[in-house]
Structures are given as structure tokens and as C-alpha cells.
Amino acid sequence: MPVYISRVDLSGDHAVIIKTAFHRGRGNLLSLSDRGVYIATDMRILPQATVRLQFELPDTVEAEAVVTWENQSDPPLDDLPPGYGMQLTRVPPETVHAIRTIMKSAIVPPLPNSLPEGESSFTIAPPSHSRPNKAR
């Protein structure tokens, strides 16, 4: 039985346009799941801010998200460049489809004999590096 990946870490440039209530900027999409994203950016965004995102997966899609954690410390956490973790809140059907297509392409078959004795299946837990909101 295949293992379904809960998050895809992207390599290369995946430009994102970020629009807040006050300004607009750019970032790089580094991580994607069906519930959220991590975007590297030097923009300053308030915790809990609602943002509009526009990115290519590979077609141009949009979504609304809320900033759930920031990575602006020096040095940044988890070997990630400065940026923000965001929870997707309003996702149009075409964006859902694009995300699901990417997630399906990340299915990995389990390794033979990789299960603990007596176990017939396993799942991958969500990432454990979520950070609580940090007010600045």
C-alpha cells in the first residue's frame, strides 16, 4: 500500500505574489500541503494577517490564507529562509485540484520490510515543526 505524503517541499523558484490589506510583495513557495504553505519572503506581515496568494502549480492559481507562524529570527528556524507559515482558508476548486495533483505525484511506495513487526500499515504524521504565533 502506498504512503501518502502530507506535505511537499519544493525545490527551485516558485514565485508567489502576496497581497495584504496594506501592501503587495513577492516570495518563494517552499512547502505545500492541502492545508497550508511556507513562503520565504522578506516582507513584514503581521501575525494572523489574512493574505491573498497567487502562484503557479503549474497554472496560475489563487488562494486566501492566514499567517500562522513567522520565521524571522536570526538565524531562521529549521534551516528555512525567513518567511511565514500560512494556513489556507479560502481555496477555489481549481487551486484544490492543482494542490491535489502535486500531492498525488508525491506518493511513495513503502520500503520492503520497513514496518515494525506485526504492523501491516503506517502513515506519515503531519510535520512537527509548526510554530506558535510570535508577536513582534
As a whole number, mean pLDDT of residues 48-69 equals 93
Number of domains in the chain: 1
Whole-structure pTM over 0.85, yes or no?
A: no
pLDDT in tens, 83-111: 999 999 999 999 999 988 888 877 555 44
- The pLDDT mean for the chain works out to 79
Residue range(s) defining the domain that contains residue 19: 8-105
73-82, 115-124, 127-136: range with highest mean pLDDT:
73-82
Strand partners, 39: 29, 84
The residue count of the chain comes to 136
Task: Evaluate if residue 136 carries a pLDDT over 60.
Answer: no
Does 27 reside within a domain?
yes
Of 74, 73, 64, whose CA–CA distance to 134 is shortest? Answer: 73
**Residue 135: inside a domain, yes or no?**
no
Query: How many other CB atoms sit within 10 Å of the CB of residue 101?
Result: 11
Domain at 73, CATH number: 2.40.10.220
Which grid coordinates are listed for 84? 511565514
